[in-house]
Chains A and B, each alone.
Chain A
Amino acid sequence: MQKRVAGFMSLLMLAGLIALPASATTKCFPDRYIMYEHSNYGGHSRGECTSEPDLRDVEWGIFAWEDFNDMISSLKTLGQYAYFYDGANYSNLLKYYGANQNISFVGDTLNDRFGSVWNGYP
């Protein structure tokens, strides 16, 4: 049964209908910022150490639509600052966060709004 499910998943991946979790290829160490689905560092989370031009590619599940785009409510920056943008490819800067900040809630105007992240100084 497991094999059949794996086979089906491979077929879907080949068809381009789902993508592998980004962690399979992009995980690095140490994390420079951590993003969370909910306020107070709750829900799905993910640590990153590089800039992300499109948070649609940063997934928390196995399906392509389970991603961090328009989903971040709280975050931490570790050692470096980060710029958060509205759209993909760093378009429309929304927010600057300094290094070593714990943001338990990004605020009503920015909640579920981020589409890309620049880590460090552009």
Chain B
Amino acid sequence: MAKRLTVAKGLGLLMALGLIALAILMFQRPQDPIRHTLSHGSSLVTFDAAGTVWGRRSFVREIWVAPDGSGRIDERDDSLTFPNDTERAEWVALGSPATPAISRSFGPGELSYVRLDRMSRDPRELLGDMTAGGAKPTDTLRMVALLLYENVPPTDLTHAVVGALRQVPGVEVEDRGNLVIFTGTDETSTGRAQGRIVIDVSTGQLVSEERYALGALPGLSVEPPIVMLERWIDATDLTAVSRSLAQPMGRMWTDTFPAFGLREKVIQPTSGLLCMSSRLDHICG
């Protein structure tokens, strides 16, 4: 009897240990990688309270983020240009406010590390989130770009996002090999606007994002369309990348912001694609 009790106790102990081991396995997360992204681009910045003094800030940006929110941001080639002397004079009158490039390290919790593993992979569910609250096509594209930019999403998540984007009313889709180009145009509170994002479905990564004002902007004497934002992902990695390797590659300015019509050629280091951008013309191939 005593022996039977001992065996029962032993079995119980083994079962308990087994359950604990199972629980540990279930809750153990794989080591989250350090995320690295190298990108470049330019965007319009306003300086005065009324938002009528404009400049264009160009940048090359590199970021490393660890799961604990520590990391580093290095921005280079930061420059500020103006469409004309009047706009520059207005900026000087404001005290020449800087648009500083960031180049420093951050401690734990000082940067954001988005947990993409908790996001749904169901395109229908994602579509509901994307169009919630009557979001316009340009809003939806911006939302997706902000999610994919510098977060290095897993391929299955990008595929679900692409599947959802294909169903968003008002978003045009163009397939060019592995590249999918989404374009949305709508009326905003400041006039007609257009957004465009390019996603490489073979890598699951965002390739570029562009936003345009198709109408005049208050206080800016430039003919539309006006490039509000243009940024290109040059390289991403899920693990830490040697900084010596992470230099801007194949980047060549063919013209320096002629009347805000940005023109450049870029060779994507990851895919070898040659991309050109000139106002609304965007070619990768």
Contacts and interface: CB of A to CB of B under 8 A. Distances in A.
Q: Do A and B bind each other?
A: yes
B170 interface: no
A107 interface: yes
A90 interface: yes
Contacts of A53: 69, 106, 110-112
Given A16-B118, A87-B149, A93 B57 contact: yes
Contact of A115 (B110, B146, B217): B146
Interface residues of B, number: 37
Q: Which of A81, A90, A115 has the most CB of B within 10 A?
A: A90
B100 A98 contact: no
Interface residues of A, number: 34
**Chain A to chain B: the 9 pairs with minimum beta-carbon distance, closest first:** A54-B112, A107-B51, A108-B189, A88-B112, A108-B190, A122-B102, A53-B112, A96-B97, A122-B100
Contacts of A94: 43, 45-46
Given A92-B43, A122-B100, 6 more contacts: A54-B112, A83-B100, A91-B63, A93-B45, A98-B97, A122-B101
Interface in A56-106: 56-57, 81, 83, 86-98, 101, 103, 106
B229 interface: yes
Nearest to B145: A87
22 contacts: A53-B69, A54-B112, A57-B112, A81-B97, A86-B43, A87-B150, A90-B102, A91-B61, A91-B63, A92-B231, A93-B45, A93-B57, A93-B99, A94-B45, A98-B97, A106-B51, A107-B51, A108-B189, A108-B190, A109-B190, A116-B112, A121-B100
Interface of A: 16, 51, 53-54, 56-57, 81, 83, 86-98, 101, 103, 106-111, 115-116, 118, 121-122
Interface of B: 41, 43, 45-47, 49-51, 57, 61, 63, 65, 69, 73, 95, 97-102, 104, 106, 110-112, 114, 118, 146, 149-150, 188-190, 217, 229, 231
Contacts of B97: 81, 96, 98
Given A54-B112, A109-B190, A93 B43 contact: yes
A51 to B, nearest CB: 8
B146 A95 contact: no
B contacts with A: majority SS: loop
Contacts of B63: 89, 91
Contacts of A51: 110
Contacts of A93: 43, 45, 57, 99
A98 B118 CA distance: 38
A110 B102 contact: no
Contacts of A101: 49
Contacts of B229: 86, 92
Contacts of B101: 122
